[in-house]
Amino acid sequence: MIVMKFGGSSVANHTQIEKVRAIVEAKRERAPVVVSSAHKGITDALVDAAKAAAKGELTRIDPAGLEPGPGAAALSKRGVFVDPIGRQRTILAELGCPADLLDAFFAELCDLLRGVSLVRELSPRSLDYVSSFGERMSVRALADYFTRNGLPARAHDVWDLGFITDDNFNRARPLAGWEADCREAFAKLDDALPVVTGFVGKNRAGDITTVGRNGSDLTAALLGGALGAEEVQIWTDTDGVMTADPSLVDGARNIPAMRFDEAAELAYFGSRVLHPSTLLPAMASDIPVRVLNTNRPGHHGTVIEQKAVENPSVATSIAYKEGQSVVVLRTTRMFGQAGFLAKVFAILGERGVDVDMVSTSEVSVSLTTADRAGITAAMPELERLGECELHHDRTILAVVGQHLPQRPGIGARILGGVADAGVNVEMISYGVDSINLTMLIADADIDRAVSVLHGMLFEAR
């Protein structure tokens, strides 16, 4: 058995979905389980609609479609409101699905958005519920299309296959022991190809949860571990894991094989290919993860496993994580005082603020987080401990490699290359026996820093 996860770009439209069908058909002898994301753009459109409803900015909420009201604020990052119902209907028509295939879902979504609009409140629980419609609709469209085109398939909501989670909305995880229920549920399935929702789950109370944005990777890895799969395949729109973000670096190269720890570092520090938590269940079960390109299925992609071959290169890849906020706390009360940092992290922990980088001296501590709202809310309490500065729009830039600490002068070369690009480094983290060197730079400097480092580390002769 293999688990094959297809992302939003892989199931974006009829052309891409036909590619997926052909790829899965070619793997039928390996008993595939398909995990699907929502069609590209649908989840963003659902979230935008939910936020618009909470602000009273939807004038029409019915199964025929959604419309923003006159004078509505910008409803998405792109400044354009996309009707998720209209977009889904277009995809159904492209695929030749029955026009009423998802009418029950459209009606359910509209009822939910009306409720949000009436109370003018969008809780984490309600947001998960709204966000779940993308995957729930996509698997039914895919299963219908596959079946009508010679590949008998059946859609499944993952909670019907044992995936019952905790109550941590937006970041849920399956409950301990769920694997046995999952194996029992799969044993009862018929011979039709299972097409399973990624990203979503349900708690014991029956409330829909999600595992976090781009979390279908994690669903696939968890299912792979529970079912003892031979391999978990993550199908994307790139040739596996690359030496840098190909949208920034034209010369970015495929990495044929890498270790779990390298891939985990890259995912955590912003690699766009894998969800940060994806590799944990695969590592625990020692199941290889293979990253492949839906648009070039013949490409070997990247295989990630515990015993990958040694990488002779100076570095494996460059990743970045933008949108960071940095706090600098200065006080002489830190000097020689045991437990001072514990007070700092207790304040952040109470607000669920996840810290990425930390740098300390005897009289100051600097730390970064992607949780802008959380760190802003924590500032009044932090200011009771000392003088604080808060800066936004920063990026963690990470160079990952198997043997960085054993390469004399590599740290100086990396920092020198960044300096030559005219980029200021505000913080550095480089631990003993670490496989990554991380730097904090301004968001505006990402392109220059990544391009220069890639040229130095991967393209120089």
From CA 130, how far away is CA 122, in angstroms rounded?
10
In tens, the pLDDT along 180-214 reads 999 999 999 999 999 999 999 999 999 999 998 77
Predicted local distance difference test score (pLDDT) of residue 145: 98
Predicted local distance difference test score (pLDDT) of residue 8: 96
Predicted local distance difference test score (pLDDT) of residue 332: 84
Element (H, E) at 427: strand 427-429
In tens, the pLDDT along 48-65 reads 999 999 999 999 999 999
In tens, the pLDDT along 236-289 reads 998 999 999 988 999 899 999 988 888 888 888 877 677 777 888 888 888 999
Lowest mean pLDDT among 204-218, 304-318, 395-409, 427-441: 304-318
Tallying the residues shown for the chain, one arrives at 461
Say if residue 78's pLDDT is above 80: no
Helix then strand count (H, E) for the chain reads 14, 19
Predicted local distance difference test score (pLDDT) of residue 197: 98
Predicted local distance difference test score (pLDDT) of residue 282: 87
In tens, the pLDDT along 337-368 reads 778 899 999 999 999 899 999 998 888 999 99
Predicted local distance difference test score (pLDDT) of residue 177: 95
* Domains along the sequence of the chain with CATH: 2-236 (3.40.1160.10), 317-459 (3.30.2130.10)
236 is in an annotated binding site: yes
445 falls in which pLDDT band (50, 70, 90)? very high
Q: What is the reported pTM?
A: 0.89
Lowest mean pLDDT among 66-70, 317-321, 332-336, 444-448: 332-336
Q: Mean pLDDT throughout 422-432?
A: 88
As given in the structure block, the two tokens for residue 356 are: 């990425």
135 is in an annotated binding site: yes
Of 366, 371, 428, 419, nearest to 397 by C-alpha is 428
